[in-house]
Amino acid sequence: MNETSMPLKGIRVLELGTLLAGPFAGRLLADFGAEVIKIEPPDKPDPMRQWGKEKDGVGLWWPVQSRNKKSITLNLRTVEGQTVFKELAESSDVVIENFRTGTMEKWGLGYEDLREINPRLIMMRTTGYGQTGPYKDRAGFGSIGEAMGGIRYVTGFQDRPPARVGISIGDTLAALYSTIGCLTAIEERHKSGEGQMIDTAIYESVFSVMESMIPDYLLADYVRERTGNILPGVAPSSIYRTKDDTYVVIGANADAVFSRLTRAMGQPELAEHDDYKTHLARGKNQKELDALIERWTKTLDAKHVLEALEEQGVPSGLIYSAADIVKDPHYAARDMIVNTEHPQLGEFPMPGVVPKLSRTPGQIDHAGSVKPGEANEAIYQSMLGMTSEKIEQLQARGVI
């Protein structure tokens, strides 16, 4: 794609913070053409550089998180570093930070400080508990936000302790909400000419997706519990073992879809059975219905179960591992595994861009920086007009 058609071209982002929530938001903006400048302390690189599995000494998570970004170093704990940052912020559109509440203010770089320099600046702030409230000063990682937000309580099986989702879902949700806030603030800035602060709490981002948990409790005196692979009262919607000891997922809880499922099973009479013909009836008899369906799936290999379900238009599928994903033709057809060149590892596979825009889609240009500060000279010269001598002096003093 021509770079000029990227939808966020012209938006300059200064990305501070480490690990997940802030940097993931930066990745999303960079995917669609924003100039994202990743800033790391010269003496303490982002720990994400070493996260995940390694190959030839390279952390395999880092290129996914830092793709399309430019890397510079700057020590914000020094007065000189704070001054340089203010100069960078003067000609930027967005600042992303996910430090503990009050850290930026301690450095003289809080929102009120920066908006005096650049009234159009948008500041994305992601913390465990938000910028206000009695818990605002507490340390809060994604795992704590997941616990407080409610998702840990309902994840897993009732006879076992609460479980976690196998990814950093709290940080990811917070990054998504922060990005929505950023794009909303950019749009509003077209009208007002002013920036604003985006205050995203991880626990709130998790809580926001918890469906009807609160009215269930306050209005129906019902506390959602861990229920494994089902949602109580929503049936059939679970996993079912097949003859070849594979699990298939079947979602047929709508009346019309359930009718199609019964035809795939060769038992169309079930669609009119008093115990199963309505949503409420299926919910009341969920356990018996799931057992009945699994008796059918166990008579066939997974391939034939899925063929029968697909023929009748019943939503179904396998539970994919990474090995399944990389060989799936649909992933390939939609460019969901993209190979980009890595300076040390060569061809590097990573998830494609989401969502798909029809006219101005995003793209992955490069796999990010191998070493911190790779773009120091280019950024400091182009944005601040620093000479090579000045850059060397700042480096010698540990500022960059």
Instruction: Report yes or no: 80 and 88 within 8 Å, Cβ to Cβ.
Output: no
Instruction: Report yes or no: 92 and 14 within 8 Å, Cβ to Cβ.
Output: yes
Provide the H-helix boundaries in the chain. Answer: 21-31, 62-66, 79-90, 103-106, 111-117, 142-149, 169-192, 202-207, 213-220, 255-264, 279-284, 286-297, 302-311, 322-326, 329-333, 376-384, 388-396
Query: In the numeric block, which tokens belong to residue 26?
Result: 């930066």
Instruction: Report yes or no: 83 and 51 within 8 Å, Cβ to Cβ.
Output: no
Strand, helix or coil at 96?
Answer: strand
Instruction: Report yes or no: 226 and 157 within 8 Å, Cβ to Cβ.
Output: yes
HSE toward the beta carbon, residue 35, CA cutoff 13 A:
14
Helix, strand, coil share of the chain (percent; to 5) = 40, 15, 45
CA distance 26 to 178: 10
Angle at CA of residue 7, ends 142 and 172, nearest 5°: 10
Query: In the numeric block, which tokens belong to residue 220?
Result: 């129906």
43 is catalytic: no
Q: Which of 39, 63, 35 is nearest to 49 (CA)?
A: 63
Instruction: Report yes or no: 78 and 43 within 8 Å, Cβ to Cβ.
Output: no
Q: How do 237-241 and 54-55 pair as beta strands?
A: unpaired
Looking up tokens 């519990």, which residue turns up?
Answer: 225
Catalytic entry in 31, 46, 171, 290: 171
**Catalytic residues, which ones?**
171
